[in-house]
Amino acid sequence: MASPIEALRWNIINAFERPCGSVNEDLIDAARRRIISATIDIDGTSGPPRAPRAIQTQNGLPYIRLHLTHMELLWSFAYGWMILYEEGVQKPMIDGKWTGNIVLDRPLTQRAASLLMWASTLRAKYTKWPEGLPRPARGCDQEETNYCYKANNVFQTSLSFLLYHEFAHVRQGHFRVHDPSDDPAACELAIELEREADDFAFNIFLSATDDEATRATKGWPLLMPVLSSLYLVDGLVGVFQRRHPHLHHRIQHMLNRFNFQDRKHGDYYRLLCACVLSVFSNAYTRGGNAAPIEPESFVTAEDALDDELDFLDSHGTELL
């Protein structure tokens, strides 16, 4: 049976070619000059999710490969956290009923949590998209379907960000200076190239002249790629990487790039990141293999995020 994510195949291509509503001439030029293949390869083999990557071939053009399982994970992550954060955190806060925990008291949030739980297990063992749970084409009712369509938009931009990150590696000539060794200097260079690719992709979707409201609307799709990477690593130790920025530092860097001046926007996304990090950390400090859904109580958004980042930093020395 085909994956539900294949319903968005052409949407993904369109979002990549027209990242801000207009054609990216740099992308077309790179394909025309044979800097990169104009074809995106989709790996449909089952197995744990593999993030997109640019592949340098010996006798042909570099090309970008996507993995179907990773696309399933990314959509499920975006959908699940959109529901849990909007319905389980933001609305209770507005109503003055926030207790510090995400309460799964409705079928909408329960089904979103079930989809997230499934996504969190894919790293260890691939299983098919569970029957009856939300998917890109539909939900079980109109409310869920509306959220599915919102998640589609977030997913398409998020995946485009990842594609432009890989495009940057090719376009910026990173293959020419790539050193696969574990030499400290080689690792430091690799980390710098990853940051450069992130910044390249970020600047495709946001410019220095974009106003606060525009930046706020891009928060979800541009933060989802790095937040969902937590579902690709093996526990807390996986956050700390030799040839990539540590994941929690990458999250903080991406969040800082938005440079929100309005506190309501900054707090909104700080608390989102804090919730995701808390759920991730609690899954392993409590000995679980899959992410639980209810984070610990928070005081302020800024304190909550700082606490989560400090917690991971403090464990870095022990784990490594």
Residue pLDDT, tens place only, 146-171: 999 999 999 999 999 999 999 999 99
Looking at the predicted structure, is the pLDDT value of residue 80 above 60? yes
82-97 pLDDT, tens digit per residue, is 999 999 999 999 999 8
- DSSP code at position 131: T
What is the residue-averaged pLDDT of the chain?
90
The tokens for 54 are 């640019």
Own/partner pairs for 13-17, CB < 8 Å, 24+ apart?
13/40, 15/156, 15/157, 15/159, 15/160, 16/40, 16/159, 16/160, 16/163, 16/164
Looking at the predicted structure, is the pLDDT value of residue 285 above 60? yes
For the entire predicted model, the pTM comes to: 0.94
User: In the chain, which ranges are continuous DSSP H helix?
Assistant: 9-17, 25-32, 68-85, 91-94, 107-121, 142-171, 174-177, 184-205, 212-217, 219-228, 247-258, 263-285, 301-319
User: What would the mean pLDDT of 187-215 be, rounded to a whole number?
Assistant: 93
Looking at the predicted structure, is the pLDDT value of residue 286 above 60? no
Looking at the predicted structure, is the pLDDT value of residue 320 above 80? no
The tokens for 121 are 């297990």
pLDDT score recorded for residue 70: 97
pLDDT score recorded for residue 151: 97
9-63 pLDDT, tens digit per residue, is 999 999 999 998 888 999 999 999 999 999 999 999 989 999 999 998 877 889 9
Q: How far apart are CA 7 and CA 19, in angstroms?
A: 19
pLDDT score recorded for residue 198: 96
pLDDT score recorded for residue 22: 84
Q: Band of the pLDDT at 109, cuts 50, 70, 90? A: very high
**Beta-strand relationship, 53-55 and 40-43:** unpaired
Looking at the predicted structure, is the pLDDT value of residue 110 above 60? yes
Comparing 293 with 42, which gets the higher pLDDT? 42
Distances (CA, A) of 245 to 91, 101, 197, 239, 304: 34, 30, 12, 9, 22
Distances (CA, A) of 196 to 223, 225, 261: 16, 16, 24
Looking at the predicted structure, is the pLDDT value of residue 274 above 90? yes
User: What would the mean pLDDT of 248-266 be, rounded to a whole number?
Assistant: 94
The tokens for 4 are 């539900």
Do 148 and 176 touch, CB atoms closer than 8 A? no
